[in-house]
């Protein structure tokens, strides 16, 4: 019928128009978390190098990993992912080697940042920000916690007023560390033990919260939360009584990194971007605005002392950070971790 025909034609034309519109831009494509870089980053980059770049967003590591695996990284030139995923991407042959000769700003990095276990020598990734995981709490409502067990087996005053992270690696890490095991363990007995501890712990928590736990501290809904150090600073910014501490059993160390997909068609420009990111200015911006530590020595050493006083975890030295265990990809043990996490989250 005439209607259908004309419709068919318009669908195809529309598609073609939209398709051509989106492919017109031959820009560098960066995928990052929202608010993790200066808002005018792309303008600054263009001014410094003349290269056009645009930003795509992802909300979690898992999502961008899913997308990259399904699309083989096509369409992206630089991707920000956390360290455990770098190894996986490499083993899946999805990322390219980094040519250090194109990144002179590596001189800004702490020497420790060149010796990260998941990528010694930064051959396939470049570190952007790093930090630890610990306990973020209201110092005016409770005494400083000293152990992971303060979170997992809270005293009566704290029952129902604590939150935990539910992202699998960090949830399990809390269990492992409280028992003195490695956060990367592959021993089934240790996984079971941690699982049992965490199932018990679930009964005393208010909720699992990966994103708004600091808001719960500010409102008083929660008194202590399982938190990444940079996030805790957002709470501190709202209420100076919110403090961060690392339990005596230790914790894990994570790094947010930049990688270049093998299928990128603009690798030279991608390197230029990474180099630009490693400059001192950008490092200072990260610390001031995102309130995360960056492995950029030139930047960290130039920070305002007042900032470091207000946010003590920004003053952690690289050695202190590196003293924590680094999260590694689990290989085939990942299945066991995921199953354990499912059992914990589904338990009553």
Residues 283-342 that bind other proteins (CB under 8 A): 290, 329, 331-332, 334-335, 337-339, 341-342
Q: 235 to 264, contacts with other proteins by CB under 8 A?
A: 238
Residue 215 or residue 308: which is nearer to other proteins going by CB?
A: 215
Residue count at the site for other proteins (CB under 8 A)? 77
Q: Minimum distance between the CB of residue 25 and other proteins, rounded to whole angstroms?
A: 7
Q: Which of 7, 97, 123, 157 binds other proteins (CB under 8 A)?
A: 7
Residues in the chain: 348
Distance between CA 225 and CA 209 in Å, rounded?
9
Rounded to whole angstroms, the Cα distance separating 174 from 90 reads: 27
Q: Which is nearer to other proteins, 206 or 282 (CB)?
A: 206
**Residues 12-51, interacting with other proteins (CB under 8 A):** 14-15, 18-19, 21-23, 25, 27, 29, 31, 33-36
Q: Using N-to-C axis directions, what is the helix angle for 168-178 and 334-346, rounded to 10°?
A: 90
6, 9, 43, 59: residue in contact with other proteins (rule CB under 8 A): 59
Give the pair of three-digit tokens for residue 1.
């019928």
Among the listed ranges 52-60, 136-144, 184-192, 311-319, the one in contact with other proteins (CB under 8 A) is: 52-60
Shortest distance in whole angstroms from residue 245 CB to other proteins: 22
Helices 334-346 and 188-202: crossing angle in degrees, nearest 10, is: 20
Nearest approach, Cβ of residue 72 and other proteins (Å) = 6
Angle among Cα 72, 129, 166 to the nearest 5 degrees reads: 70
Close Cβ partners of 278 (under 8 Å, ≥ 6 residues apart): 103, 105, 106, 108, 109, 126, 296
β partners of residue 133: 228
Task: Tell me the closest approach of the beta carbon of residue 136 to other proteins, in angstroms.
Answer: 15
Closest separation in Å from C-beta 100 to other proteins: 25
Segment 130 to 169, residues that bind other proteins, using CB under 8 A:
163, 166-168
In terms of CB distance, is 199 or 315 closer to other proteins?
199
Q: How far apart are the first and last CA of the chain?
A: 59
Rounded to a whole number of angstroms, the minimum distance from the CB of residue 57 to other proteins is: 4
Q: Minimum distance from CB of 60 to other proteins (Å)?
A: 8
Rounded distance between C-alpha atoms, residue 114 and residue 127, angstroms: 9
Residue whose CB is less far from other proteins, 8 or 240: 8
Q: What's the CA gap between 140 and 262, in Å, rounded?
A: 50
Pick 96 or 298: Cβ nearer other proteins: 96
Closer CB to other proteins, 44 or 100, in the complex: 44
* CA–CA dist 166, 285 (Å, integer): 29
Q: Which is nearer to other proteins, 256 or 297 (CB)?
A: 256
Residues 181 to 220 in contact with other proteins, rule: CB under 8 A: 202, 205-209, 211-212, 215, 218-220
Site string for other proteins, 60-99 (x = CB under 8 A): x-xx-xxx-xxxx-xxx----------xx--xx-------
Which residue, 55 or 322, is less far from other proteins as judged by CB?
A: 55
As measured in angstroms, the least distance from the Cβ of 91 to other proteins is 4
Instruction: Please name the residue that has the structure tokens 């690289």.
Output: 318
Q: Does 114 bind other proteins (CB under 8 A)?
A: no
Nearer to other proteins, 110 or 118 (CB): 118
User: 67 vs 100, which CB is nearer to other proteins?
Assistant: 67
């Amino acid at each position: 019928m005439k209607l259908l025909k004309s419709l068919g034609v318009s669908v195809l034309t529309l598609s073609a128009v939209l398709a051509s519109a989106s492919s017109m831009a031959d820009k560098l494509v960066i995928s990052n978390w929202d608010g993790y870089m200066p808002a005018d980053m792309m303008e600054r980059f263009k001014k410094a190098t003349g290269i056009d770049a645009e930003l795509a967003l992802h909300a979690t590591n898992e999502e961008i990993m899913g997308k990259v695996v399904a699309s083989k990284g096509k369409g992206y030139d630089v991707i920000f992912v956390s360290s455990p995923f770098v190894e996986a991407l490499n083993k899946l042959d999805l990322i390219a080697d980094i040519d250090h000769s194109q990144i002179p700003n590596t001189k800004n990095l702490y020497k420790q940042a060149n010796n990260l276990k998941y990528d010694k020598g930064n051959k396939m990734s470049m570190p952007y920000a790093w930090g630890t995981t610990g306990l973020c709490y209201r110092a005016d409502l409770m005494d400083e916690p000293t152990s992971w067990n303060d979170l997992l087996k809270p005293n009566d005053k704290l029952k129902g007023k604590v939150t935990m992270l539910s992202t699998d690696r960090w949830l399990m890490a809390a269990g492992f560390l409280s028992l003195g095991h490695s956060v990367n363990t592959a021993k089934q007995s240790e996984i079971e033990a941690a699982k049992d501890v965490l199932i018990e712990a679930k009964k005393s928590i208010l909720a699992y919260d990966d994103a708004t736990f600091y808001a719960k501290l500010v409102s008083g809904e929660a008194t202590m939360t399982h938190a990444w150090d940079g996030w805790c600073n957002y709470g501190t910014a709202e209420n100076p009584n919110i403090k961060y501490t690392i339990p005596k059993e230790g914790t894990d160390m994570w790094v947010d990194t930049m990688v270049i997909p093998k299928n990128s068609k603009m690798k030279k420009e991608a390197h230029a971007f990474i180099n630009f990111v490693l400059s001192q200015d950008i490092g200072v911006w990260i610390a001031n605005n995102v309130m995360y530590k960056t492995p950029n020595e030139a930047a960290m050493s130039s920070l305002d002392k007042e900032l470091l006083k207000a946010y003590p975890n920004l003053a952690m030295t690289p050695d202190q950070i590196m003293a924590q265990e680094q999260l590694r990809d689990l290989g085939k043990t990942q299945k066991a971790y995921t199953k354990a996490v499912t059992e914990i989250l589904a338990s009553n």
